[in-house]
C-alpha cells in the first residue's frame, strides 16, 4: 500500500511539471518565440507591437504618478535650444519603461529619447513587452518584413506636453494634450509609430487611447474611415499655446488674402496637434520656431501613412539620423492631404 501511494504521488508530481512546462511554452510563444533573441534582423511587426505595449504601460505609470501628486519636478537645459524646461518623474519613468523594455528584447537596438536613463529610476526588472498585437496581426497577417537592425532606430518622446502634465492637477482639461510617442525609422525615414493619449478615454469609457500607423501596411482601427471635406472658406490652423501669437500673425497674413476665414486652435504638444490634423479636426498644423525630432517623428510617420504631408516651412522632408543634431530649425507645415500641403506651402513661401 505504501509503495502504490508513492507511485500516485510521483504521477501527480509529473503531471504538475508538465503543466508548468506547457504554461512556460505558451508564454514563450506569446513573447514571439525565439525571434526575440535575433538581434540582427528585426521584424517590424514585432517592434511595432512591442512599442504599442510599452507606450501603454508607460501611460499607465504617467497617470498613476499624476494621481499621486508626487511629480518630483526639476528643470533641465533644453537640448540644442535656449532656456530650460520641466522634467518630472513621469517623464523619467516612461523613458525607462520604453527604453529598457525595447532593450530587453533587442539589446543592440538604437534608441533616441528626449530623456536620459537615470540609475535611481532604473531599479527592478524591466517590463518585457509582448511581440504580438491583435490589431497588427489582423491587418498585416504574413507581411512580417525583417530589417537589418543596423538600419533601425527608435525615437521616443516619453511624455509630450510636460508643462500641461504638471498643471493638470488644478486644470485637468490640460491633460488631454499629454502623449507618449514611439517612432520607428529605417534608414533615417519614419516608417511606423505609436501615439498614446493616457488621459483620454475611448468610446467605451476605458482609460487611454492608442493610435498607430505603419507606412504601406495600415493604421489602427480608430484612424480608419475618417472623411471630412475641407471647408475651403474656413481654414482651421492649430498652433502651440506657448507661442501662438507668431503663428496667428503669419497665418492671417498668408491665408486671408484669398478671402479665406482663418480659425485658430491653440493647443499643446506636437503629438496632440498632429493627431488633430490626422483626425481632420484641423486643416493645418503650423509651427514657426525650432522643434526637436522626438516631438515630431511619430506624427510624421502617422501623417505620411494617411497620405498627408509633414515638412519644414521651407518644404523639406525631415530625416531622422540618430547620430546628428535632433533639432529642426525651420518650423513645420503639416496637412492631411498633399494638395492642401502644396496650397499652404505656396502661401507661406513669401513669409520665410
Binding residues for Mg(2+): 114, 157, 159-160, 295
Query: What is the rounded distance in angstroms from the CA atom of residue 230 to the CA atom of residue 278?
Result: 13
To the nearest 10°, report the CA torsion of 195, 201, 204, 210. Answer: 10
Query: What is the rounded distance in angstroms from the CA atom of residue 49 to the CA atom of residue 129?
Result: 8
Are the beta carbons of 177 and 267 closer than 8 angstroms?
Answer: yes
Q: Indicate the angle between helix axes 89-105 and 44-68, nearest 10 degrees.
A: 150
Query: What is the rounded distance in angstroms from the CA atom of residue 243 to the CA atom of residue 289?
Result: 9
CA distances from 39 to 46, 146, 307 (A): 12, 11, 32
Using only C-alpha atoms, what is the Rg of the chain?
23
Are the beta carbons of 340 and 320 closer than 8 angstroms?
Answer: no
List, as residue ranges, the binding site. Answer: 114, 157, 159-160, 295
CA distances from 121 to 67, 70, 116, 118, 222 (A): 19, 14, 11, 6, 34
- Coil, helix or strand for 295? helix
Query: What is the rounded distance in angstroms from the CA atom of residue 108 to the CA atom of residue 106?
Result: 6
Nearest to 191 by CA among 264, 297, 110: 297
Amino acid at each position: 500500500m505504501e509503495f502504490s501511494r508513492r507511485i500516485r504521488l510521483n504521477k501527480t508530481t509529473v503531471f504538475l511539471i508538465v503543466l508548468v512546462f506547457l504554461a512556460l511554452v505558451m508564454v514563450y510563444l506569446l513573447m514571439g518565440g525565439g525571434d526575440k533573441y535575433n538581434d540582427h534582423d528585426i521584424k517590424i511587426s514585432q517592434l511595432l507591437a512591442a512599442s504599442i505595449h510599452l507606450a501603454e504601460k508607460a501611460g499607465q505609470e504617467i497617470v498613476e504618478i499624476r494621481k499621486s501628486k508626487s511629480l518630483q519636478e526639476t528643470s533641465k537645459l533644453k537640448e540644442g535650444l535656449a532656456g530650460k524646461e520641466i522634467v518630472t518623474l513621469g517623464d523619467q519613468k516612461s523613458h525607462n519603461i520604453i527604453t529598457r523594455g525595447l532593450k530587453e528584447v533587442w539589446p543592440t537596438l538604437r534608441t533616441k529619447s528626449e530623456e536620459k536613463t537615470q540609475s535611481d529610476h532604473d531599479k527592478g526588472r524591466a517590463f518585457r513587452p509582448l511581440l504580438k498585437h491583435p490589431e497588427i496581426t489582423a491587418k498585416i497577417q504574413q507581411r512580417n518584413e525583417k530589417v537589418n537592425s543596423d538600419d533601425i532606430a527608435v525615437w521616443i518622446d516619453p511624455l509630450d506636453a510636460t508643462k500641461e502634465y504638471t498643471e493638470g492637477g488644478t486644470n485637468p482639461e490640460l491633460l488631454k494634450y499629454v502623449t507618449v510617442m514611439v517612432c520607428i525609422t529605417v534608414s533615417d525615414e519614419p516608417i511606423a509609430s505609436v501615439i498614446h493619449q493616457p488621459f483620454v478615454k475611448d468610446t467605451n469609457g476605458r482609460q487611454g487611447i492608442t493610435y498607430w500607423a505603419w507606412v504601406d501596411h495600415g493604421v489602427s482601427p480608430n484612424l480608419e474611415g475618417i472623411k471630412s471635406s475641407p471647408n475651403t472658406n474656413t481654414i482651421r490652423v492649430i498652433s502651440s499655446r506657448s507661442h501662438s501669437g507668431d503663428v496667428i500673425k503669419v497665418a492671417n497674413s498668408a491665408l486671408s488674402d484669398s478671402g479665406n476665414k482663418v480659425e485658430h486652435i491653440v493647443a499643446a504638444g506636437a503629438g496632440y496637434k498632429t493627431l488633430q490634423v490626422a483626425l481632420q479636426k484641423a486643416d493645418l498644423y503650423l509651427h514657426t520656431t525650432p522643434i526637436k525630432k522626438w516631438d515630431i517623428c511619430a506624427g510624421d510617420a502617422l501623417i505620411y501613412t494617411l497620405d498627408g504631408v509633414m515638412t519644414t516651412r521651407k518644404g523639406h522632408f525631415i530625416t531622422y539620423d540618430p547620430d546628428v543634431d535632433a533639432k529642426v530649425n525651420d518650423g513645420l507645415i503639416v496637412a492631411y492631404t498633399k494638395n492642401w500641403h502644396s496650397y499652404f506651402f505656396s502661401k507661406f513661401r513669401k513669409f520665410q
